[in-house]
Each structure stands twice: as structure tokens, then as C-alpha cells.
Structure 1
Amino acid sequence: MRSETPVELSIKVQKGFFSYVTPSMFITVGVLFFLVFTLRERLVSSFQTSVQLNSVIVLVIVYAIFKAFHNNYRFYNTARFLRRIERLEESPDDIAEEEIRDLGRKLETQGSLLNIQNMYSVLENLSVYGHLNFTDNDARLIKSKFGARVRHDRGVVSYFAGILVMLGLIGTFWGLLGTINSVGDAMGAVSESFSNSGGEANIGEFIGSISKPLQGMGVAFSSSLFGLSGSLFLGFLNFFCGQAQNQAIEEISRWIDHRIPKLNPALKDKAAGKKVPQADDLKAWLAGFVYLSGKANQKMGQLVLSLSKSTDAMMKSAAQTKKVYDYQRGIYTSLENLGSTMVMVKDTMQTLAQNIDPSMHVNSSIRDNLVQIRTLMDSSKVSNDAIAAQQLEQTGKLTSQMHEVHSAFTMLSSVQSSLVTEIEKLQDKFKKEDNAAEFSNLVWQLNTILEDIRQQNKDAYMGIFDNEPSDDDVDASGDDSSSQA
């Protein structure tokens, strides 16, 4: 017997904006605005008959239009939320916990039509198994709650359409009530006019009395016009919105049903008569097992590849370890040689320490001698300074005496010149006179005088050098310094 194969339907939701907010909805609103623009003068005059009531009717129409578009826009947001789940299911990578938490936050805003507790548990399945893995119970509750919310939102627009009819009827009865009162007043005024005029008709008063009932009829029919027209428009708009919503409900229902795990029908007969777990739990377990098996095989392949790479790395590490061992062995040999060298250095340092003590005593005596030499040099410097001062003083005296000698020699030269002159005169006189004996006596006296002068000059000159310090005195002072050293 040939097993029946289930027909696969479309499992992807539409993601286009105009698939939910359809062009027919925009066309319906466009027709409304076109009619309002075309009949604007007549509508304005009708609107002014009862501004308060007609304003309420217009506001209800505007809000109902907004509500209808908002309902379908919520379907668009729900489709975007489901498309995001599809992308996570199709992703080859593991789904992170942060993405699951972000889906939970988006469920409260973007997927508010599906926001029930069962949907949160399904999202947890997404993090465990990699797909939503709906159970029959979860799918039934989610679709039931989803449909109830859609019907409620659609019923709000229908409710506003009924409200518009009621507001139109209120305007009608309100206008008729005013008309009846005005007709009664008009009939009373006409009757009184006939009585006062003696049966003659007063046409002007009659026309004025029936104008108020006509105004009441305007209020009644204008309110009915706006209310019924708005209700008719909302009926058309809700019809086109309902078509898009029904199509979206069908697609989302198929999308949920496709993610319910299916069992093989060929195994149904074998399982008859046996006690097995509940179907929902078994389906979820099998689907998770298949998914986890695939993931485990993938991880095992990755693990084998990692082990192969790890083996190659270990072989390379062993070769590097051998090189490091050889290098450390060379370092150990070098350290042994360095230890021997350090022992030799230690012995050398001990020998140097033994030889340093005598040299320290020699250095101490040398230092003491240097101190004494410095002291003697200081005293010698003081003596030399004193001798230099004495020499400077004697040199000054010598200079002054030399100036005196120079003056004396100058004076003697002048005296000798005068003597020579006198002698020449005496020679001339001697030639003239015959007293040679007297002349000879005078010459002898002059020579005696000159000899005395020469002797005095010699004594004066030698006296200058007698005042200078002798070399023996200088040598004696130097010997005294040496003896002190």
C-alpha cells in the first residue's frame, strides 16, 4: 500500500508592507477624500447645521480609519518578527543566548499579537534545539490567542461603524424633536394670528413660523448623512482590512503548523498496543534528538580535525623540546666551567687579601711622610717668602744708593773737569812765569786731592755691596730647613 505524502505548503510569511496594509485600503481612503473635496460646499453647509454632533461623528470616523490601518500594521510587525526567527533557524552557527533574550524583548513589542507564555517556552526550544519545535498544545493555544486578538481589534472598527449609525440616529431624533416642537409653536402662532386678524391670513407670519421646523429637519438629516456615510465607509475599509488579515492569519497558522515535529506514518502500526509517552513530548524529543545528533556529528568532525592539528603541534613541540634540552645541557656545561673559574677567582682574591695588609701599612707610612713633607714645604714657603721680602728691601736700598753714587760721580766729573781747566790755566801760567817749584807743589797737591777723592769713591762703592745679604747667609738658611726636614 502506497503511503500518502503530505503536501508541503508555503512556510514563509510575506514580509512586504503592502501585503498587510493593502493598496485597496489606500484606494478606499482616497475615494473618501475625493468625494469630500468634490462636495465640500454642500457638506460644509450641512455640517454647520449641527456643529457639535457632526464634529463628534467626524472625529470617530478619523479614529476608526487610524485604528483599521494600525491593526494591519501590527500584522506587518508580527511578520517581521517571524522572519527574524526564520533567519536564526537557517543560520549554520549556534544561536547565542543574547539573541534569544532579544527575541523575548521583541515579542513584547514587535510580536505583541503572539505574546503569550507558550511562545516564551517555544523560544527556549530555539536555543536548545536550533528550531522552535512547537507542540500541538502550544500551537493550538498560540493560534487561538492570536485569532482572538485579531477578532477583537477588527471588532473595534466594526464597533465604531455601529457608533456612527447610532450618532446619526441621535441626530435624526434630536432634529425631529426640535421639528415637532417648532411645528406646534408654528401652529399656535398661526391660530393666534387668524384670531387677531378676524380670519384674514397673514402669509408672512405663517412662513416665519414654519422656518424653525425646517431647521430641525436640517439637523436631523445632516447628522444622519454624516453618520450613515461614515458607517458605510468604515464597512468597506474593514472589509478590505479583513481580507489582508485573513490571509495573514492563514500564513501564520501554516508557519506554526510546519514547525510541529511530524512522525513517520509507517511506524504507526508498530506502535499500536504499546504504552508510549505523550505524542507532544515524543515529537519534541525526537526532533531535538535529530537536531542534536546532527550537531554532535558536526562537533565530532571538528574535534577530529582539532585532534589532528593537536598531534602535529605535539610533534613539533617534541622537536622543539629536544632542541631546548640540548641547549639547556650546553648551558649546564657552561655553568660548570663558570663554577671552576669562580673557584679560581676566589683563591686569587684570598691571595690578594693576604698581600693587601702589608701594603696597607706601607701606604700608611707613605701617607705620614707625605704629610710631613707638606708641612716642611709650607714652612719652606714661609721662609722663601721672608727672604724674598728681604731681597726686595735690599734691592730698593741698593737702587737708592746707586742713584746717590751716580750723582756723586756726576759731581766728581764736573769737579775733575774744573780741575783740568785749572791745571791748563796753571800750565799756561807756568809757561809765563818761572816759579816752577810752586807749580810742582800745586800739581802734587792736586794729585793728592784726586787720589783722596778716588779712594773715597771706591770706599763708597764697596760700601754698597757690603749691605747686601751674602750667599753664605742664604745657604745657611737652606741648611737649617734641610736639618728640620
Structure 2
Amino acid sequence: MAASAASPPLTSPRIYLIRMVVFLTLAGFLAFVLYRQIVPAFMANPGLNGLILGVALIAVILSFGQVQRLFREVRYVNRVAEGGGQQAGTPRILAALAPALRDRGGGRPHGQAAFQPLLDTVASRLDEGREILRYIGGLLILLGLLGTFWGLIDTLSAVGNVIRSMRAGGGDAAVMFDELKSGLAVPLSGIGLSFSASLFGLAGSLVIGFLDLQAGQAHTRFYNELEDWLVTGAGPAPAAAPVPVPATVAVMPARSPEAPNRELAEAMARLGTLVGDSTSHSRSSTQAMANLAEGIQGLVQHMRAEQQMIRDWVEAQASRERELKQVLDRIARERVE
């Protein structure tokens, strides 16, 4: 019990909630400062932009829930560490690990090989809760691109209508230019606002990405502290337990005086067999080493012979080159004469 009381409890993930609230406050302040620019962009496509903001709001609530659910698990582990395993309640994420935690709190730590699969289960449960946040982050970008392409299609179709409505026959060029300018005013003024969906989608993805990062850090610290707390009780504790030799001796039946001699003879016979086997193995190993040495020696001799052949060939080629050079010199002198 003292060992469990000495173990440090898990820290609360409150610091990550504070970071998330501060970040959302700064984002809200920036939106308030840019209120005049954001409202026209939002009204360019209120349906799709409202959908993007609604999805982002759902992701914000889910991210806070991913951190908030760790408080229950942290309180459970801390109560078990303090010795109150019976009053600690029932965890949700640590449901598979609850028996091992109670044993750890009661001074009966499990080995690392025993609780490692359970820790992997806890890690998978923590990670699957954040999969929806990752999906929403990509969904926001996709909705923004959808709004952009939607706006571009509307703009191009409006430009096409303006061009088709122009008079093809002769007319005043100034009048035609004024008609073209008035006809393109609406699509050209809306082409900038057609990217508003991408603006809201990227901004929402940025906010959700930061919140997901904080939730991931909270999960990682919770998992690491839980693993460290379990590992501190694993290892030498089971080996330090006293071996119950007297109890074993007390329950053993009486043995005859010939039993030790018979067992000693059998042990000597097995030892002799092992020695014989090791002798035979050593002989075979010695023979194999000798064969290997002979093979290496033969390989060295063969390499030396090949090197000698190469040297002879090089010398022969050099002598031939010298003779050829002498012949060429003679021919050159004869021509000069």
C-alpha cells in the first residue's frame, strides 16, 4: 500500500482546455476586428458558408469533449493510486485496464508484458475518438473548394450570357463598350466573393487543426503518465518475494535412503552422455575447421597463380609495345632519308 501511495498521481488535462479557450478567444477577436470584411463575404453564399461554420462548431464541441472525457479517467487512476479502488467508480476508456489498475493500487503490480496489450487497447480507444476531428478538418477544406467552383461556374455562365446578349451588327463602339461594362459588372464583382467559401473552409480547418493538436497532446500525456505509473511497480517486485521453501519441504513425502544414490547415478550418467556428445561435436568442429583451412589455403594459391599470370601478360604486352615502337621509329627514319 505504501508503494502505491508513493506513486505520483496523473496530472489533470486542464492546461490543454485553457490553451483551446485562449486560441478560440483570439480567433473570435480577429473575426470581430474583420467584421466588415467578413459579413459581405458570408452573404455572398450564406447557405454554404453557414454549413461550413456549423460543421466547424460541431468539431469544436467534439474537440472539447475529447479532452473533457480524460478528467474522469484521471480521477479514477488517482483514486486507485491513493488506495480507494472500491470507491473510484467505473472508467470508460480504462475499462479493460481496470483490474490491472486495482492490482497496481493494491500493491500487486503486473509485469509489463501482461498489461502492454491492455495499454494498446487504451491507445486505440483514445485515437479512434479523434478520427472524426481529422475527417471534419478535411471536410471543411472540401466544402470551401466546392463553394469556389460553384461561384466560378456561376460567374462564367453570367459572362457567357452577357457576350451572347451583345449586338453583333454594326453599332456605335462606345455604346457596345458601355453595354459590355454594365453586363460584366455583376459577375466581375461576384467573382471575388465566390472564394468566400474557401476562406471560411480554410479558416475552420485551421481552428480545428489546432484543437485536434491539443486534444492529441492531452491524450499522449495521459497515456505516457499512465504507462509510467504502471511500469514503476513492474519488474523486481515479484522477484523479491520470499521463496516458500519450508512449506514445500513440509508437504513433501518421506523418501527412501536409496533414492538420492539412484538420482545421483542417473545424473552422472546424463553428464557422461553430455560430455561424450560435446567431445564428438568438438571433433567434428575441429575437422570442419581443418577442411576450411585447407580450402582457404587452396584459394590463396589459386589467386597467387592468377596474379602471376596477369603479371606475365602485362610484361608481354609491354615488350610488344616496345618492339612496335621501335619498328615505327625505323619506318619514320627511312621515310625521312
Structure (1/2) with the larger helix percentage: 1
In structure 2, relative to structure 1, the CA distance for the partners of 1:122 and 1:171 (3 Å cut) is same
Gaps of 5+ in 1: 1-9, 90-94, 265-282, 290-485
- Distance change in 2, residues 1:57/1:284 (3 Å): farther
Q: Supply the distance in 2 between the matched residues of 1:144 and 1:284 (Cα, whole angstroms).
A: 26
1:12 partnered with 2:11: no
CA 1:284 to 1:180, structure 2 compared with 1: closer, same or farther past 3 Å?
Answer: farther
Report the Cα offset of residue 163 of structure 1: 1.0
1:120-131 matches, cutoff 5 A: 120-122=98-100, 125=103, 130-131=106-107
User: How does the TM-score come out when normalised to structure 2?
Assistant: 0.62
- Structure 1 residues 200 and 42: CA distance shift in structure 2, 3 A: closer
Contact 1:194 1:200 (C-alpha < 8 Å) held by counterparts: no
- How far apart are the structure 2 equivalents of 1:188 and 1:225? 32
1:252 counterpart = 2:252: no
Flag the structure with larger Rg.
1
- Amino acid of the residue matched to residue 50 of structure 1? N
Q: CA–CA distance in 1 between the matches of 2:69 and 2:9? A: 14
Quick check: 1:186–1:206 contact (8 Å CA) kept in 2?
yes
Does the 8 A contact of 1:172 with 1:221 survive in 2? yes
Q: Indicate which of 131, 134, 145 corresponds to 1:169.
A: 145
Aligned to 1:143: 119
Counterpart for residue 223 of structure 1: 197
Identify the residue that residue 112 of structure 1 maps to in structure 2: 92
Amino acid corresponding to residue 72 of structure 2 in structure 1 = N
Alignment of structure 1 residues 91-106 onto 2, 5 Å: 99=86, 103=88, 106=89
Contact 1:134-1:284 at 8 Å conserved across structures: no
**1:358-413 CA distance string (max 9 Å, x none):** xxxxxxxxxxxxxxxxxxxxxxxxxxxxxxxxxxxxxxxxxxxxxxxxxxxxxxxx
Matched, 1:238 2:212: yes
Unpaired runs of at least 5, structure 2: 1-5, 245-337
CA deviation after TM superposition for structure 1 residue 66, in Å:
1.3
Q: Which amino acid is 2:196 matched to? A: S
The reply to whether residue 208 of structure 1 matches residue 182 of structure 2 is: yes
Show the 5 A alignment for 1:68-107: 68-88=63-83, 99=86, 103=88, 106-107=89-90
Check 1:51–1:253 CA distance in 2 against 1; reply closer, same or farther (3 A cut). Answer: same
The answer on 1:67 being equivalent to 2:67 is no
Q: How far off its partner does 1:213 sit?
A: 2.2
Shift of 1:57: 0.7
Structure 1 runs, 4 residues or longer, greater than 6 Å off: none
CA distance in 2, matches of 1:238, 1:200: 58
Distance 1:75 1:20, change over 3 A: farther
Q: 1:209 Cα shift?
A: 1.9
Q: Distance in 1 between matches of 2:144 and 2:220?
A: 31
How far did residue 220 of structure 1 move?
A: 2.5
Find the counterpart in structure 1 of residue 165 from structure 2. Answer: 189
Shift of 1:234: 1.9
Per-residue deviation, 1:137: 4.2
What is the aligned length?
238
Q: How far apart, CA to CA, are the structure 1 residues paired with 2:43 and 2:192? A: 10
Distance 2:201 2:39 in 1: 15
Distance 1:159 1:80, change over 3 A: same
Distance change >3 Å, CA 207–CA 198, structure 1 → 2: closer
- Distance change (3 Å), C-alpha of 1:17 and 1:237: closer
Residue 186 of structure 1 deviates from its aligned partner by: 1.6
The CA deviation at 1:169 is: 0.5
CA contact (8 A) 1:171 1:219 kept: no
Question: What is the aligned counterpart of 1:26 among 5, 21, 30?
Answer: 21
Is the 2:16–2:214 contact (alpha carbons within 8 Å) kept by the matching residues of 1? no
User: Aligned with 2:83: secondary structure?
Assistant: helix
Deviation at 1:224, TM superposition (A): 0.7
Tell me, yes or no, if the aligned pair for 1:179 and 1:215 is still in contact at 8 Å: no
Question: What's the offset of the Cα at 1:252?
Answer: 1.3
Percent of aligned pairs sharing the same letter? 26
8 Å CA contact 1:176–1:220 kept in 2: the answer is yes
SS at match of 2:159: helix
Paired residues for 1:377-392 under 5 Å: none
Distance in 1, matches of 2:230 and 2:161, equals: 69
Letter in 1 for 2:129: D
- 1:85 maps to a residue whose letter is V
Which letter does structure 1 place at the counterpart of 2:150? W
Give CA-to-partner distance per residue, 1:51-97, whole Å, 9 cap, x none.
110011101111111111111112222111101111226xxxxx7xx
Distance 1:74 1:82, change over 3 A: same
Aligned residues of 1:14 and 1:79 also touching (Cα < 8 A): yes
Give the CA RMSD over aligned residues: 2.9
Give me the whole-angstrom Cα distance separating, in 2, the residues matched to 1:203 and 1:233: 46
How much has 1:131 moved relative to structure 2?
A: 3.7
Counterpart Cα distance in 2 of 1:19 and 1:44: 34
Q: Is the 8 A contact 2:77 2:101 kept in 1?
A: no
Tell me what 1:263 maps to. Answer: 236
1:42 aligns with 2:37: yes
Is the CA contact 2:100–2:115 (under 8 Å) kept in the aligned structure 1? no
In 2, the alpha carbon distance for the partners of 1:226 and 1:284 equals 61
Determine the C-alpha separation between the residues in 2 that align with 1:233 and 1:66.
12
Alignment of 1:326-345 (within 5 A): none
What is the alpha-carbon distance in structure 2 between the residues aligned to residue 15 and residue 55 of structure 1?
39
Equivalent residue of 1:197, what SS?
Answer: coil
How many angstroms does 1:182 deviate by?
Answer: 1.2
Give the 5 Å matches for 1:456-471: none
Structure number with higher relative contact order (C-alpha < 8 Å, ≥ 6 residues apart): 2
Kept in 1, the 8 Å contact 2:44–2:194? The answer is no
